[in-house]
Amino acid sequence: MRITCLASCVLNQWALDFEGNVKRVKASIQQAKQRGARYRLGPELELPGYGCEDHFLELDTTEHSWESLVELLNGDETDDIVCDVGMPVIHGGVRYNCRVFVLNRKILFIRPKLCLANDGNYRESRWFTAWQHQKKIEDHQLPPAIVAVTGQSYVPFGDAILTFIDASMGSETCEELFTPAAPHIQMALNGVEVISNGSGSHHQLRKLNTRTDLIRSATGKCGGVYMYANQRGCDGGRLYYDGCACIAVNGEIVAQGEQFAIQEVEVVTANVDLDAVVGFRGAFQSMAVQASASDKYPTIRVPFTLCPTDYVSQVPHPPCEIRYHLPQEEIALGPACWLWDYLRRSGASGYLLPLSGGADSSSTAAIVGSMCQLATAAAISGDDVAAADIRRIARIEGTDSLPSAKELARILFQTVYLGSENSSAATRSRSSALAAEIGASHLDVRIDAVVAAVIAFFTSVTQKTPKFKVDGGSDVENLALQNIQARIRMVLSFVLAQLMPWVRGRGGFLLVLGSANVDEGLRGYMTKYDCSSADINPIGGISKRDLRSFLRWGADKLGYPTLALVEEAPPTAELEPIRDDYVQTDEEDMGMTYEELGVFGRLRKISRLGPVEMFKRLLHEWKHRASPEEIAAKVKSFFFYYSSNRHKMTTLTPSYHAENYSPEDNRFDLRPFLYNVKWPWQFRKIDEVVMARERSYQESI
Ligand SMILES: Nc1ncnc2c1ncn2[C@@H]1O[C@H](COP(=O)(O)OP(=O)(O)OC[C@H]2O[C@@H]([n+]3cccc(C(=O)O)c3)[C@H](O)[C@@H]2O)[C@@H](O)[C@H]1O
Ligand SMILES: Nc1ncnc2c1ncn2[C@@H]1O[C@H](COP(=O)(O)OP(=O)(O)OP(=O)(O)O)[C@@H](O)[C@H]1O
Ligand SMILES: NC(=O)CC[C@H](N)C(=O)O
């Protein structure tokens, strides 16, 4: 048996934090060595951090990456272990997204990415070029700083494989795994036994199985060992990289790391038997024919054994069940970890949330509660970085004991109920009950005096006093009176965020949390610059439907029973006066249900349908629940509101990316924001389809 120990790492890197990034890379190599690994794989672009974006265009970023590599090569980290490190490299004047293989303080080989990630959140071809020469290598001239350390002037650069004394290895980078003609197929046909993939891949609800299915099928079909490494956490933007390093052998996962965690460095190791790979392929005759005919890769020969003889006593890791989180758990964990990274890296002293007792702000509060639970649990279980972050943010002396999750919430989480004359006792009491369950410091205040002052100001300027519709006012007056309340809540939230730490004798500032969900954004059912305008928003990419099931789940699993009461209540803005015959509700106001909004959202973005094609699709999907006229009216209504409110997306608070149907305008869903909201051409085509169907129905009876 040829048994080797392999290590795949998850690192919580931060764009441009070279100091911290190289420290975490070193820590991961040390852990890998302690566990006896002969090869260590790190995430994509781990030295500068994956999310540097346009900073990749700066020469500084590549230079500092080389400087970071010098730090590694100068120490003993790379002694007796092959380290595969992600960084940008400029070769022949062109910048590539590369894997740099190092061993015993020398560079073995540099492998550029062949297929860049360019859809959805990814824009790699803005900063990098895909290597165009498959199965070809060139000499790469090393920068002087590296020459001084390694004594090497040139190293091989390109699409090659590594052969050790006793094993062979090849690498592909992130997106390459997702492509139809993935390099691992050619590598397997070339007899490569270990294929590694250093990734920078983000979390999206219910997405993990896409990745693990690809990993399993990569070696299920051709045999081999597949190693996956990923970044973790918020590295400075809207994405949460969700780790989950794993190692697969012949189609079965043998080791899997955490998808969400506070821990900055996680090393997943497995003992694997490379002879099992040869055995698998040896019995696969049709593959052997293709392998025999395949074009050969250039080979980098490395005089190093991957499977030392003393490993004979080691037992290979058996296959294990893949662990998936429920979507509700994903909501509790992903955004909570993202909030923790944001908080500890921003220098803020905590979060402030305007907590209405409704579904959205209550979900947000529960996520902050989950963040406190995760951070304290990590610190108590011995994570020194988490403990130091808690002490710094909460201003706890080194000798004092660490706080519980509830105590931490009291220190760093301020909630506030901003009641008006239209607020109900029910939302008010849910707000304070939930805050108490989480442990947050809660304020229960009224905004009526400020609202009255704004209306008095308006009356003094115009001699007119707007009225609510229920009191005989027009639609314009009714909307304006609602928006005054909503916007005042935003202003007061920022005032409190700035001054409450001072009031409590703590100093610093709080970040204001927004809690508009993805569906409200899509429909524009929100007041521009109300509490939806905040510093960051953990639920801006999550649908109302998912939030409601999260609330039901969280009542029990997070230990906040009030969430169940919140979930049962119909969503309402409480901006209009309540009367015996009138209570404002979201779905009635919007003229569509949250469920319908979810359908429109997915068809618009994920299925890429415009008004006419969406209408045609729904004619089939909704044929048992609505007539063609009704479906036409719903589709037109959606496109009218979506397009007339699209401008609100341009100022949307940055939020955690969780859904592929996110309308987020800045990075993900790039669209104009001034539309002809009548959609005359498109709506006429819809009418024509409705009329044609009506005619054919009439003719058939
Ligand atoms: N094409 C365009 N490009 C750029 N900006 C544009 C624009 N059209 C309007 N605007 C601006 O946007 C303003 C209209 O937007 P906005 O002021 O938000 O007001 P608007 O969208 O008219 O009203 C707020 C909406 O939120 C709903 N709502 C209900 C309940 C609660 C809440 C809540 O948030 O608590 C909200 C309410 O029913 C209504 O549909 C205009 O006055 C103008 O300043
Ligand atoms: N009475 C209130 N006290 C504190 N904050 C409020 C209050 N009413 C509204 N807000 C804030 O304004 C945001 C938008 O209010 P809106 O009435 O549109 O509710 P929503 O988007 O349905 O959210 P929720 O479900 O949290 O009520 C809320 O998420 C909340 O942060
Ligand atoms: N960095 C990458 O190549 C990521 C792209 C890939 N589609 C993913 O989401 O994982």
Q: Hey, whose CA ends up nearest to atom 26 of ligand 1? A: 526
- Which of 356, 523, 545 for a ligand 2 pocket mutation test, highest count of atoms within 8 Å of Cβ? 356
Centre of ligand 3 from the C-alpha of residue 116, in Å: 8
Centre of ligand 1 from the C-alpha of residue 531, in Å: 13
300 and 329 within one domain: no
533, 567, 601 - which closes a domain: 567
377 and 310 within one domain: no
**Model confidence pLDDT, tens digit, residues 42-54:** 999 999 999 999 9
404 and 373 within one domain: yes
From the CB of 487, is ligand 2 less than 6 Å away?
no
Judge whether 544 counts as a catalytic residue: no
Confirm if 138 and 298 have CB atoms less than 8 A apart. no
Judge whether 244 counts as a catalytic residue: no
From the CB of 198, is ligand 3 less than 6 Å away?
no
Centre of ligand 1 from the C-alpha of residue 102, in Å: 56
Q: What's the pLDDT at 311?
A: 59
Q: Is residue 460 part of a domain?
A: no
**CB atoms closer than 10 angstroms to residue 19:** 11
Measured between alpha carbons, how far is residue 590 from residues 280, 548, 638, 679 in Å?
59, 18, 9, 19
Domain span holding position 438: 325-446+497-567
From the CB of 355, is ligand 2 less than 6 Å away?
yes
Q: Is residue 574 part of a domain?
A: no
Q: Is residue 576 part of a domain?
A: no
406 and 266 within one domain: no
355 and 319 within one domain: no
Q: Is residue 479 part of a domain?
A: no
Q: Is residue 270 part of a domain?
A: yes
Using CA atoms, how far apart are residues 653 and 608, in angstroms rounded to an integer? 24
> What atom in ligand 2 is closest to the CA of residue 574?
17
User: Looking up tokens 């400075």, which residue turns up?
Assistant: 236
pLDDT along the chain (701 residues), means of 10: 95 98 98 97 98 98 98 97 98 98 98 97 98 98 97 98 98 98 97 98 96 95 97 98 98 98 98 96 94 97 91 84 97 98 97 97 98 98 97 90 97 98 95 98 98 98 96 96 97 98 95 95 95 97 95 98 96 82 83 94 97 97 95 98 97 95 91 96 97 88 77
> What atom in ligand 1 is closest to the CA of residue 530?
34
Sign of CA dihedral 363, 368, 372, 377: positive
Ligand nearest to the CA of 422: 2
301 and 335 within one domain: no
Q: What's the pLDDT at 589?
A: 86
Question: Tokens for 407?
Answer: 């105590």
Residue from 646, 690, 679, 682 nearest 665 by CA = 646
Task: Considering the candidates 5, 44, 193, 246, report the single residue annotated as catalytic.
Answer: 44
> What atom in ligand 1 is closest to the CA of residue 650?
4
527 and 628 within one domain: no
555 and 596 within one domain: no
Q: Is residue 658 part of a domain?
A: yes
Q: What's the pLDDT at 246?
A: 98
**Model confidence pLDDT, tens digit, residues 606-624:** 999 999 999 999 999 999 9
Ligand nearest to the CA of 43: 3
Q: Please tell me the total count of domains within the chain.
A: 3
543, 567, 591 - which closes a domain: 567
Centre of ligand 1 from the C-alpha of residue 155, in Å: 59
From the CB of 174, is ligand 3 less than 6 Å away?
yes
181 and 240 within one domain: yes
CATH number of residue 398's parent domain: 3.40.50.620
Whole-structure pTM value: 0.96
DSSP calls for 119-139: STT--GGGT------TT-EEE
332 and 276 within one domain: no
Centre of ligand 1 from the C-alpha of residue 527, in Å: 5
Judge whether 176 counts as a catalytic residue: no
Query: What are phi and psi for residue 200, nearest 5 degrees?
Result: -130, 90
Q: Is residue 316 part of a domain?
A: yes
Q: What's the pLDDT at 312?
A: 60
Ligand nearest to the CA of 486: 1
Centre of ligand 2 from the C-alpha of residue 361, in Å: 6
Task: Considering the candidates 9, 174, 222, 337, report the single residue annotated as catalytic.
Answer: 174
Q: Is residue 456 part of a domain?
A: no
Model ipTM value? 0.94
CATH number of residue 74's parent domain: 3.60.110.10
304, 323, 342 - which closes a domain: 323
Using CA atoms, how far apart are residues 545 and 562, in angstroms rounded to an integer? 18
SS (H, E, C) 341-389: HHHHHHCCCEEEEECCCCHHHHHHHHHHHHHHHHHHHHHHCCCHHHHHH
* Greatest distance between any 2 Cα atoms in the chain: 92
Task: Considering the candidates 201, 356, 362, 655, report the single residue annotated as catalytic.
Answer: 356
312 and 337 within one domain: no
520 and 660 within one domain: no
Judge whether 356 counts as a catalytic residue: yes
Centre of ligand 3 from the C-alpha of residue 98, in Å: 15
Q: Hey, whose CA ends up nearest to atom 9 of ligand 3? A: 201
